[in-house]
Amino acid sequence: MFIIVCAKAVLGGAGEGTLISSRPFFNPGVTNVNVLVAGGALACFSFLGFDSITTMAEEAIEPKKDIGRAAIIACVAGGLIFIVQAYVAQLAWPDYTTFKSADTALFEVAQMAGGTIMSGLYTFAVILSTFTAGIAGQSSAARLMYGMGRDEVLPKKFFTYLHPKFQTPVLNIMIMCIIGVVGSLLLNLTLVCELMNFGGLFGFMCVNLSVIVYFFFRKRERNVIKYFILPALGFIICCYLWLHLSKLSFIVGFSWLLIGLIFAAISTKGFKIKPKIYEE
C-alpha cells in the first residue's frame, strides 16, 4: 500500500513527478564511497535475520533442500521489497535533508503521500512488524541456545529443558525476553545496530572462509567459481564493511568474543575436549 500511495503521489506531481529516474541510485555530488559504506552497514542491520531460518533445520521436512531455499527466498523477497519501497520514497521526497528526523523518514513520506490515514496505517504496520520480528528473533535465539545446550556447549540441563506440554525451550525464551527488555531500556538503537553488524559481518566472514577451506581445500572440489571466487568476494565485501564500523563496536564486540573464548577454554579444559556434534 505504501508503494502504491507513493507512486500515485509522484504521478500526481509530488517529488520528482515521474516514476522513471536514476536519482535514487546515483545523485551527483552526494553519492560517494563513504555514503555507500554507511548505507551498507545500515543494510546489514536491516537484513540480518534471514539466516535465523537455519536454526529451524530440525523442524523442516527436508532441511537440506528447504532451509537453504527458504533463506534465499527470504533474502531476495526482502531485498526487492526494500529496493522498491526506498525507490518510490526517494521519488516522492527527493531532498532527504529536509526530513525532521532520519529515524522517521518513511513515516513523513507516508504522511505526505497519503495523509493522516496512511501515516496511521504505516505506524500500525511498523508496530506489527516489530512485534513479529521480535517473536521470530526470540524463537530462533532460544532454539539456537537449545542446540548449544544439547551439544553441551552450554549447560545441558538448563538449556535443553522443554515445556512438558508445548515442548518449547521455555527457559531460553524467558532469558531472551529478559535480555530484550533490559537491552531496550539501556541501549540506544545506534549501539545495537553497530553490535549486530559486528557479529553478523564477522560471522558471514567466517562462513565464507569456511566454504573455501572445507570444499575447495579439504574436499578438493574444483568448481572455482562456486567454492572459491564467490565466497572470496563475499568475504572481501563483508570485511570491508566490518572494518568501517565504529571503535565502540570493536571494543564491545571483541570483549564479547573474548568472554566466549574464555568460556570455551574452560568448558573444553583448554580446548582438549572436542565439542559434541549432534546428527540425526
69-86 mean pLDDT: 88
Residue 228 banded pLDDT, cuts 50, 70, 90: very high
Reference 21, options 110, 89, 67, 79; nearest CA is: 89
For residues 178 and 194, which has the higher predicted lDDT (pLDDT)?
Answer: 178
Q: Give me the pLDDT at residue 184, please.
A: 83
Residue tagged 520514497 (cell numbers): 89
> Which residue in the block uniquely carries the three cell numbers 513523513?
108
State yes or no: pLDDT of 233 exceeds 70: yes
Percent of the chain exceeding pLDDT 90 equals 23
pLDDT of the residue at 61: 81
Could you report the per-residue pLDDT of 18-59, keeping only the tens digit for each?
888 888 887 777 777 777 776 776 677 777 777 778 777 777
Q: What pLDDT is stored for residue 64 in this prediction?
A: 81
pLDDT band at 278 (very low <50, low <70, confident <90, very high): low
CB atoms within 10 A of CB 209: 15
* pLDDT band of 200, cuts 50, 70, 90: confident
